[in-house]
Amino acid sequence: MSRSNSQFSDMGSQVEDAFMKYASPIKPYIPTISRFLLVVTFFEDALRIIMQWSEQNNYMKYSRGFPSFTSQIFLGLNVIVMLVCSTLAVQRRYTEYAVGGLATVVVSQALGYGMIF
């Protein structure tokens, strides 16, 4: 049994060494890439709302019962907050506010789109 553990440990060390060899050039960028991957959903959602503005607006008006002006304000604020806060999170600026803004978007969309009740 210890022989298989030793073989597994050796193989793990080889994989780790190979990874470190090839990952070294991108190592300084990994934190930024990680933050981007965490917020890419918000970028995608903002882009989707922009590209499908009329469909989103109609859904908010006719299915959710929002007045036209309110639905446009709701969608516009969501897009702005998602883009600004996601960018701030990737740049590591005002992180607490960025995370708070993104959390607010999640809650407001859950309420606005009727996903809570």
Who has greater pLDDT, 104 or 30? 104
Residue 88 has pLDDT above 90, yes or no: yes
Tokens of 97: 């506010």
Identify each DSSP E strand in 18-77 by its residue range. Answer: none
CA distance 90 to 30: 11
Give the pLDDT of residue 44: 95
Indicate the average pLDDT of the chain. Answer: 88
Give the pLDDT of residue 11: 81
| pLDDT band per the 50, 70, 90 thresholds, residue 18 | confident
Give the pLDDT of residue 1: 47
Three-state DSSP at 67 gives coil
